[in-house]
Each structure stands twice: as structure tokens, then as C-alpha cells.
Amino acid sequence: MEKAMLKLVLLAVVLVPCCSGTETIYITDDVSVSELFSLRIEPRMFNWSYEGLSEQFHYRSSLEGYPDLPSWIRYMYSTEYHSGFLYGTPPPRTADTRVPIEIIALNRMSYETKRLVLMLAVHHKPVAKHVIQMKIDNLNWVHMMDPGRIENLKNIFRNDLWPESRSDLHIIFMDSAVKLGARLPLRPQQREGVVVHLGSRAEFSGRMLDLQEEVKPLYKIASCTYKRTSVQTTFENSGFKLDWCAFRLTSSDDDITALPHHPNESHKDGDHTNLSGQHVERWDAPLKSEIPERNYSDEVAISFAIPGMIFALLLCGLTIILCFQHEKLQDDDSEYYFNYIFYICSDFLRMHKSSRHEYNMVPSNVQMVHYSPEDAHSTIKLKSLRDAPFDVEPQRISPSDSFYREGSPHISNMYMRPKPPPYKLTGNSSGSPTLNRNHADNGEM
């Protein structure tokens, strides 16, 4: 921001001394009321040569002695042509006057400034009663500034559609469609479009009236580049693609300032007639002071108050349901659980401790063998001590105590079971143990 302000200050310092000592160039141009004029501001007008820089020259235009241009004159700079354009339509009140336009040019390569005064001599001309409004989509406003294209557009109506306007057909208004409210194209390479008004005092031809009836159903659509008409080929052969939703025919008995999009400096009450001959009042734009203001504070308060009230009602309802309706809800199982939850927890803890104690008392699964020889001829006796109780000492268990005795003080394990008697050798020691055992068994039997 500071750099931009510094550049403006330096530019003003450079322009003031240079302009005071520079010779002024005067140019006179004849313009007519209700007819568009355009002037291209180029470096050669100031005896400068273009050196290929896109921003080499800077132009500032205003009404001589004033800081800005009149409301009916506009200035635009084209980066495509590296030139400035002055254009506009003089209103009837400026007839037979001279309008001085001051142009200050700056060469940014050498910081040389020059001053040019364009004297517009406005002549009186009958106002057009019948006007054609159209929107061309494939061109920009700077392209329509070419006199050759303007003549091609006029010839379409002079030679084909509106021969009655051959004598006085002229451009009334022309400006960029984006400046008049249209949207920018999606692709930067596409054209912005230009709005053009053609006017004449001649009556509309029958073909023009038929064309209006053909496109009248499209008036309810804002833009329709996909629609085609019976004269589509005529315009496309000359390089114009029209938006037929914006095509209008109007008749006016008032001055040219009654047309839409026209830069009207003063608001005057007036009337105009349409094509059917009906007399209607002309709409006049309201002043800024007459437009009512909108208070957003009330809307913000309402937007917060309504949801807050709904939330409060829901919260109150939920509180009533949980607090006051709880007494009517009876659940015996829940009441019993909550009343005796301490005892339930204590019983569970006691059972857990007792089960853990019993688990620690279980003997390990280990096979223990006791060897007890009685004499040299005795049979080796092996006895399993795995099932012996923990409270009985191993040396007190007799090898012959193989039978379970009920009520025995040293055998109290519930898992004890009777053991078979040991096998002993009887009779001839050289005999077969199996046979002796069988005879012994038979004898016992």
C-alpha cells in the first residue's frame, strides 16, 4: 500500500511540472446527438512510437478543468490493442455545444508527459424512434470499436432485414456485457460479449416484426446461446453470434435516454410507446437516499432466539420426564440389587478368596516311591505315596497298610482308594512265579 501511494505521489510530481511546460495539442471531432462516437487514443497521436512494452503508456482523461469525465462519456484501456478508447452517446441537452476533453499521456520509459485537448463539437440530429437491442456473444467491446465491424452489422439490416433504415441507421449505444451485469465466461479465452443498440426513425419492416414474434417466447430466459432462429445464418456469415434471449425491438417517442443501459445524467419524467401503440410510463431509477435500509440486528436476534426457545422447551420436557416420572417406574429386581449391592459384593469377595485357598491346597501330580526292605528274602515292596495326605508324615506310613480303613486318623483324604496286596514268592523259589501265584490263588479260592 505504501509503495502504491509513493508511486502516485511521484507520478503527480512528474506530471505537474511537465504538463505546465508542454505544448498542448488540440483536436476537434464532430459528434451527433443520440449517436455513438468512439475515439482511439494511440501513441502516434503524441508523436510517440510503441516499443513493445505492454504498459509503456498511461492515459488519464477528464473534462477540462474537472477531475472526471461527463457521465455520458466513458474511457477504457485495451491491453489487446495497447490503446485507450473514449466512447459515449451525447444526450439531446448537449446539442450545439462544445465539450473539451483533456487527455494527459505518460511515457513510462522516459517519464515524458504530453497534454491533448479533444474538442467534441456536438451537432443536433433527430432522435431515433425505433431501436434494436441485441447482445453479441463472440466479440468484446473493443472489437466492435472497429469501424469495419460496425459497417458489417449495419449492412445486415440495411440490405436484408430492415431496408427502410438505410438512410439513417446508426449505433446508439454500445458497451461490455460484463459491465452491464453479465457473468464472466468460464474460460478466459472466451469473449465477454457486447451489448449494441441500433436505431432509426424508419418504421420496422415486416421481417423484423416476424423475427420479434419468433424470439418472443425466449424473453423469460435470461440467456440462451443454444437457440437458433431463421436468420441465424445471416448473422453468422458476417461473424456475429447473437444471444436471441436479449433481442428486443422498442419504439420510443422520447429522447434516447429512455433506453435501457443508457448512461443518463439527469432523471426526467417521460413517456414512451411500445410497438403496439400503447402509451406507458417510463420507469425512473430511485435515488440512493430513497432506498430503504435493512436492519440486520433484529434478524440476528431472531435467528438466535427461536432455536434457543426450542432448546429450552426440550430441556424442560426432558427434565420433567427424568425427575418427576421416575417415582412411577417400579422395578423390583433393580431395587433389590441396589439395596443389597454391598452384601453381594462382600459375598463375591469371600467366595473368591476361599476358591483361591482350595486351589493352593491341591497337591502336585508327582509320583513318590518308598523303598522298605524287611529282610534278605523279602520281596521288594513299592508303594505309591502320591495320594498320601499332606498332614501325614511319610515315615509313619506302613508298607502293609494298603487297605483303606474307615475312620483311620492318618488317612483322611477323600481321594484314597484301596491298593492291591504285594506279590510274594512262595514254595520253591525256582518255580515259576506265575504258577505259584495261580496255585495260591486257587488255594485261597
Where a domain ends, among 232, 258, 284?
Answer: 258
Tell me, yes or no, whether 393 lies in a domain. Answer: no
* Cα–Cα distance measured from residue 378 to residue 371, given in angstroms and rounded to the nearest whole number: 12
Give the CATH number, domain containing residue 198: 3.30.70
Q: Does 162 lie in the same domain as 222?
A: yes
Q: Does 230 lie in the same domain as 145?
A: yes
Give the CATH number, domain containing residue 68: 2.60.40.10
Q: Does 105 lie in the same domain as 150?
A: no
Segment 319-371, tens digit of pLDDT? 888 877 666 667 777 777 778 788 888 888 888 888 776 655 555 554 555 44
pTM score: 0.54
Q: Does 211 lie in the same domain as 108?
A: no
pLDDT value of position 181: 84
Where a domain ends, among 258, 287, 322?
Answer: 258
Q: Does 143 lie in the same domain as 68?
A: no
**17 and 113 Cβ atoms separated by less than 8 Å:** no
Residue 144's domain comprises 126-258
What DSSP state is assigned to residue 368? -
Tell me, yes or no, whether 186 lies in a domain. Answer: yes
Q: Does 134 lie in the same domain as 110?
A: no
Instruction: Kindly state the average pLDDT of the residues 160-180.
Output: 91
Where a domain ends, among 124, 146, 167?
Answer: 124
Tell me, yes or no, whether 265 lies in a domain. Answer: no
**61 and 102 Cβ atoms separated by less than 8 Å:** yes
Tell me, yes or no, whether 326 lies in a domain. Answer: no
Is pLDDT of 394 > 90?
A: no
Listed as own residue / partner, the contacts of 371-380 with beta carbons closer than 8 Å and 24 or more positions apart are: 372/399, 379/422, 379/423, 379/424, 379/425
Tell me, yes or no, whether 44 lies in a domain. Answer: yes
Is pLDDT of 427 > 60?
A: no
What phi and psi values does residue 71 have, to the nearest 5 degrees? -65, -25
Task: Label residue 287 by pLDDT band (50, 70, 90).
Answer: confident
Tell me, yes or no, whether 324 lies in a domain. Answer: no
Number of domains in the chain: 2
Segment 185-238, tens digit of pLDDT? 888 888 889 999 999 999 999 999 999 999 988 888 878 878 888 899 999 999
Q: Does 141 lie in the same domain as 106?
A: no
Q: Does 46 lie in the same domain as 115?
A: yes
> What's the burial of 141, exposed, middle or buried (CB within 10 Å: 0-12/13-18/19+)?
buried
Q: Does 140 lie in the same domain as 105?
A: no
Q: Does 38 lie in the same domain as 156?
A: no
SS3 281: strand
* Cα–Cα distance measured from residue 103 to residue 116, given in angstroms and rounded to the nearest whole number: 5
Mean residue pLDDT across the chain:
75
Tell me, yes or no, whether 323 lies in a domain. Answer: no
Q: Does 105 lie in the same domain as 216?
A: no
Q: Does 151 lie in the same domain as 82?
A: no
Tell me, yes or no, whether 16 lies in a domain. Answer: no
